[in-house]
Structure 1
Amino acid sequence: MAIKKQFLKTKPVCKVTFTITAKEAENVAVVGNFNEWNTEANQLKKLKNGSFKGTVDLASDNSYEFRYLVDGESYINDEEADEFAWNDFAGAENGIIKL
């Protein structure tokens, strides 16, 4: 798993590229409070090597909770998240990305 941040010089935006290896998965989405946990909003593209990758533009100077949703069933955290926070609704921790 990997998170790459690219801050734009001309706008208060950061292009965040999310990558997760899930060779057996059919689809993976990144969901979080930046897209109101919408499971359809940010589908990642499956690559030939079995990983999934996608880029999301997020406002700088914020932090966001997020997780990966694999095949619409299981939520997975990215081990490279900046930190983690407990979520009572999910009964688990969410990853946090700080921009």
Structure 2
Amino acid sequence: MRSIVVKYLKKTGAGSPLHPAPVGNRIFHTSLEFQTMSLDKRYLKSKPVCKVKFIAPEPLVERSKKIFLAGEFNEWDYENAPLRKQKDGTYATTIDLETGKEYEYRYVLDGECWENDYDADKYVPNTCGADNSVVVV
């Protein structure tokens, strides 16, 4: 995906901070073109499971000391799902999810602040008057 975005931006000259470049259903700026996506899905051929790697967006990493993942897949118990620093400097955790379903989730910063994923598959309203991120597998 990244190489497609880069080719599009170079070809059209779009993507400056003042002129965002639409690519599919996302908007890209040249300053963001090499940013990692926050969901990495790997479907297993042997069983109906998808290994989903949740990667915290950089702005969340900059604002917190510890990042956790809370969602329907862990009964919103974020303390058992900390994101760990990866070799590339990102913070991530991988969860095995049953395919054919949608799961609501949010990042929890320092055990206090609940934040959405900027690259979630979609968003749904929650009972607290905000939205939850959703991953579709």
Structures share fold, TM-score greater than 0.5: yes
Q: 2:133 maps to which residue? A: 95
Q: Please state how far the C-alpha of 1:40 moved relative to its aligned partner.
A: 1.3
Matched residue of 2:80: which SS? coil
Larger fraction in helix:
2
Q: Please state how far the C-alpha of 1:17 moved relative to its aligned partner.
A: 0.4
Q: 2:18 maps to which residue? A: none
Unaligned runs of 5+ in 1: none
C-alpha RMSD of the superposition: 1.6
Q: Distance in 1 between matches of 2:46 and 2:86?
A: 30
Unaligned runs of 5+ in 2: 1-36
Q: Distance in 1 between matches of 2:114 and 2:48?
A: 29
How many residue pairs get aligned? The number is 98
- Which has more radius of gyration? 2
Q: Please state how far the C-alpha of 1:52 moved relative to its aligned partner.
A: 1.2
1:86 and 1:15, CA in 2 relative to 1: closer, same or farther beyond 3 A?
same
Matched residue of 2:108: which SS? strand
The alignment-based identity, stated in percent, is: 40
Q: 2:119 maps to which residue? A: 80
Q: Please identify, of 1-10 and 39-48, the stretch whose mean Cα deviation from structure 2 is larger.
A: 39-48
Q: Distance in 2 between matches of 1:39 and 1:47?
A: 19
Letter in 2 for 1:15: K
1:25 and 1:51, CA in 2 relative to 1: closer, same or farther beyond 3 A?
farther
| Higher-RCO chain (CA-CA 8 Å, sequence separation at least 6) | 1
Q: Please state how far the C-alpha of 1:49 moved relative to its aligned partner.
A: 6.2
Q: 1:6 aligns with which of 42, 46, 51?
A: 42
- Can you list the C-alpha shifts for 1:35-82, whole angstroms capped at 9, x where unaligned? 100011211102476531111111111100000001001111111111
1:25 and 1:48, CA in 2 relative to 1: closer, same or farther beyond 3 A?
farther
TM-score, length basis structure 2: 0.66
Q: Distance in 1 between matches of 2:87 and 2:62?
A: 9
TM-score, length basis structure 1: 0.89
The answer as to 2:100 corresponding to 1:64 is no
